Amino acid sequence: MDKVVYNHLTGKTETTTLSADEQASIYIGFESLDKKREAYKLGLIKEIRLEKLMETDYYALQDVTMSNEMKTWRQSLRDLPANHTDEAAYDALLARDSDGNLTNSVWSKP
């Protein structure tokens, strides 16, 4: 990895290789950059999951009947972190088409 620094006093931009410490500073608080990336993607998945659950919360109102399919789907959303545990699985969940729509069927409401 490179470090790019523009110095306004000299007007020059220099590119040098990041030291080990500088590389480590990118993922402070995590075991590695890969682990930080996994946490980042899992965070995005949880945001989407929350959005999907909120969209269907009204089925849980007393005067509305929630179908078994809906119950199963909502539970599958809650189980996503337990059932998807690596970056490849996260990427599959976050995949979108060219219009920005999520493509993984797990997000499709029954």
Q: Which is nearer to other proteins, 65 or 98 (CB)?
A: 98
Q: Which is nearer to other proteins, 22 or 72 (CB)?
A: 22
Distance CA 35, CA 38 (A): 5
* CB within 8 Å of 4: residues ≥ 6 apart: 13, 14, 15
Taking CB under 8 A as the binding criterion, the range among 33-41, 57-65, 69-77, 78-86 that sits at the site for other proteins is: 33-41
Taking CB under 8 A as the binding criterion, the range among 22-30, 57-65, 67-75, 76-84 that sits at the site for other proteins is: 22-30
Q: Which is nearer to other proteins, 11 or 62 (CB)?
A: 11
